[in-house]
Amino acid sequence: MAEVAFVVADDFEDSELEVPCERLRAAGHHVTFVGEKAGEAVRGKRGAVVDIEMAASEVAPRDLDAVVVPGGYSPDRLRLCPDVVDLLRQVAREGRLVAAICHGPSLLIDADVVSGRTVTSWPSIRRDLENAGATWVDETVVEDANLVTSRNPGDLDTFSETILRKLRAQHETRTAGRA
């Protein structure tokens, strides 16, 4: 099915990685953990550990159907990784799905994909998003074309279902185009 990259660094919010990842895998999608360096083990705020399978510099955006950005402090660390920022920018510009939750949308600022878009996030980054040209709203999940954003771990069910629905629609559009 879909190829989905989770971009992650140390101090990610465990549930914001685990819940969507589990739901995507259960639906038959392939998930890859992408970060600054392949082979590196990164730790969540609450003890989860994942191994970075691919460095962002090794990932071809055209090979991805979606990128998911969990929150926590991980997005702030990834803002300093030009390869991760560039990967997100390219995936978004190619019209593929980009989904970010909690503090995750802060990484989208550096990827230059929030200007003129409607988003949500953890409230503390609201001003940053608005200063980057986004319209911020306090809603469980916000969909703006290929961009999906969500506020916090309490929204994970709706966030995960939205990602799955958008991937189904993306697949149907591609399949219809080949018919």
Sign, CA dihedral 148-12-32-113, equals positive
Put residue 127 in one of left, alpha, beta given phi > 0 → left and psi -120 to 50 → alpha: alpha
30 is catalytic: no
* DSSP element (H, E) containing 170: helix 156-178
3-state SS, residue 5: strand
Catalytic residue among 29, 30, 103, 171: 103
**Cα distance between residue 31 and residue 151, in whole Å:** 22
CB atoms within 10 A of CB 47: 7
Catalytic residues: 103
